[in-house]
């Protein structure tokens, strides 16, 4: 072996490169690649070299130009206060790795944390199997549809989703299931929630899966979800329920309403709302264990009968089963799942339920205050709400959002006269200001 004069972890010094090129009989590294001229970049990047200090200074000036709005925006992304212990523990070097926990002999700590994450999901959903995460709620939903297509319990190709489903989520779903020949269709909502009668009317034996969300994208809390489960059963279809970690701690347990798969966002905990990063929940029945997409951590015993954690049931996965794998996902969001689990552990069971309870109470209280202002009706839907609610405005919604923004607050306009407002503990301090801004704008 060539003597290395560089780092043992990156043995790639000029001398080694030259030795390797000589060994394979090539003059230059470029000769190893066949890149067409028309796609090769042959210009200057135009980046002036600066010192770290200068770059930091410039970035600070750049960031200062951002509007510093207080957000009351939700619709899929929610901000909850992340306790500092989560940063402190998850930033430990043992956890900061992009390397998958394939080797149980060196990753017991991380594997145990992921097993805890799965166990929390099992407790929150009431379903016995949870994987150790998907990319986000949208891909988890799409994987649920593919699972519905694979299992013998269903035979159809129709996937039903709420008409209010966020467009981005629907596009991901459609893109994912197109190759499997599945068709995505909408069912109507009745005052924010599933219209049971219309759903029963629309579905038939060609239905493979019915998807519902609780809370809905408009913040309403579903009532009578077991009826959706029954409609799915009547059509030999799967019932997939979308939710999030906080809501699951308070709302009807998915297992008790007949959900076959639970998907959703786990990024409501452990993460800020920045960068669009997600963390997909995936939990299901034991009978579908071998159809689960993604990674599973299991608990076993080592040669000395000690408890040991390991990735398990990998014969479902691509690196073993190739094109017949249950899914194309060949990774997970391990570090993000770790943070979500740490956040739940920091809150504790009571803390998590208290947080969820505040999501209901505070939204109701704010809706009442907005409703009292001339020119607004809130909440538009006569339902219980979780974190967010829809407001009707007599003025054009776009004019209201612009006026409110001028006062330093960001809200969604979802229609010509409909606004959506989302409240959590991270913006609760600013509700008086928001109410004043609504008053001014009316």
Partner 1 sequence: MSFDVPDDLSYLESHEWTTTDDDTVTIGITDFAQDELGDVVFVELPAVGDAVDAGSAFGVIESIKAVSDLYAPVSGEVTAVNEALFDQPELVNSDPFGEGWMLEVEPSEDEFDDLLSAEAYRDQIA
> Which residues make up the interface to partner 1 (CB under 8 A)?
152, 290, 315, 320-321, 324
Complex with partner 1: residue 119 or 312, whichever CB lies closer: 312
Do the Cβ atoms of 419 and 413 come closer than 8 Å?
Answer: yes
Nearest distance from C-beta of residue 315 to partner 1, angstroms: 5
**In the complex, least distance from residue 326 CB atom to partner 1, rounded to whole angstroms:** 11
Distance (Å, whole) CA 326 – CA 217 = 29
The number of beta carbons lying within 10 Å of the beta carbon of residue 41 is 7
Q: Is 84 helix (H, G, I), strand (E, B) or coil?
A: helix
- With respect to partner 1, which residue has the nearer C-beta, 108 or 155? 155
Q: Which residue is listed with tokens 């190739």? A: 322
Q: Pick the closer one to partner 1 by CB: 238 or 373.
A: 238
Of 184 and 329, the one with the shorter C-beta distance to partner 1 is: 329
Closest to partner 1 by CB, 24 vs 303, is 303
Closest CB to partner 1 among 135 and 288?
288
In the complex with partner 1, which residue's Cβ is closer, 17 or 315? 315
H-helix segments, 151-304: 167-177, 196-202, 225-234, 245-248
Residue pointed to by tokens 């200062």 = 64
Pick the closest to residue 213 from 240, 183, 252, 253 (CA basis): 240
Q: Are 235 and 204 in contact (CB under 8 A)?
A: yes
Cβ proximity to partner 1: between 241 and 292 the closer is 292
- Tell me the C-alpha to C-alpha distance, in Å, between residue 161 and each of 165, 216, 234, 305, 336: 7, 11, 17, 47, 27
CA distance 309 to 226: 36
In angstroms, give the least distance from the CB of 294 to partner 1: 17
Based on CB atoms, which residue is closest to partner 1, 17 or 287? 287
Six token digits for residue 204 = 């038939």
Cα(364)–Cα(278) distance, rounded to whole angstroms? 27
Give me the least distance between CB of 321 and partner 1, in Å please: 5
CB of 316 to partner 1, least distance (A): 8
Question: Helix/strand/coil (H, E, C) string of 307-372?
Answer: EEEEECCHHHCHHHHHHHCCCCCCCCCHHHHHHHHHHHHHHHHHHHHHHHHHHHHHHHHHHHHHHC
Cα–Cα dist 144/140, whole Å: 6
CB of 319 to partner 1, least distance (A): 12
């Amino acid at each position: 072996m060539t003597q290395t004069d560089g780092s043992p972890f990156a043995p790639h010094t000029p001398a080694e490169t030259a030795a390797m090129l000589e060994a394979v009989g090539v003059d230059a590294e470029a000769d190893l690649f066949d890149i067409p001229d028309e796609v090769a970049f042959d210009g200057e990047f135009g980046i002036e070299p600066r010192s770290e200090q200068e770059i930091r200074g410039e970035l600070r000036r750049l960031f200062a130009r951002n509007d510093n709005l207080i957000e009351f925006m939700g619709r899929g992304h929610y901000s909850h206060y992340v306790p500092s212990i989560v940063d402190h523990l998850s930033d430990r070097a043992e956890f900061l790795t992009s390397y998958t926990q394939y080797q149980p002999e060196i990753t017991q700590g991380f594997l145990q944390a992921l097993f805890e994450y799965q166990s929390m999901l099992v407790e929150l959903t009431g379903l016995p199997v949870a994987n150790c995460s998907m990319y986000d709620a949208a891909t988890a939903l799409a994987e649920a549809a593919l699972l519905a297509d694979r299992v013998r319990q269903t035979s159809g190709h129709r996937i039903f989703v709420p008409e209010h489903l966020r467009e981005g989520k629907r596009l991901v779903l459609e893109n994912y299931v197109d190759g499997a020949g599945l068709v995505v269709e909408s069912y109507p909502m009745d005052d924010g929630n599933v219209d049971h009668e219309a759903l029963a009317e629309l579905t038939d034996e060609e239905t493979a899966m019915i998807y519902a969300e609780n809370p809905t994208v408009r913040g309403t809390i579903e009532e009578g979800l077991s009826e959706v489960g029954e409609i799915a059963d009547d059509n030999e279809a799967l019932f997939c329920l979308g939710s999030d970690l906080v809501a699951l701690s308070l709302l009807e347990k998915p297992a008790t309403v007949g959900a076959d798969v639970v998907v959703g966002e786990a990024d409501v905990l452990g993460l800020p709302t920045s960068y669009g990063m997600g963390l997909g929940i995936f939990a299901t029945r034991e009978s579908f264990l071998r159809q689960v997409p993604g990674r599973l951590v299991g608990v076993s015993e080592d040669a000395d009968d000690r408890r040991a954690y390991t990735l398990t049931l990998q014969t479902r996965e691509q690196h073993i089963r190739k094109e017949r794998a249950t899914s194309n996902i060949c990774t997970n969001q391990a570090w993000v799942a770790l943070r979500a689990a740490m956040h739940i552990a920091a809150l504790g069971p009571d803390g998590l339920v208290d947080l969820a309870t505040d999501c209901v109470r505070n939204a109701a209280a704010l809706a009442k205050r907005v409703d009292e202002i001339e020119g607004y009706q809130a909440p538009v839907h006569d339902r219980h709400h979780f974190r967010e609610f829809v407001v009707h405005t007599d003025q054009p919604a776009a004019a209201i959002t612009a006026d409110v923004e001028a006062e330093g607050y960001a809200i969604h306009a979802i229609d010509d006269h409909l606004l959506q407002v989302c409240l959590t503990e991270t913006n609760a301090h600013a509700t008086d200001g928001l109410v004043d801004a609504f008053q001014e704008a009316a």
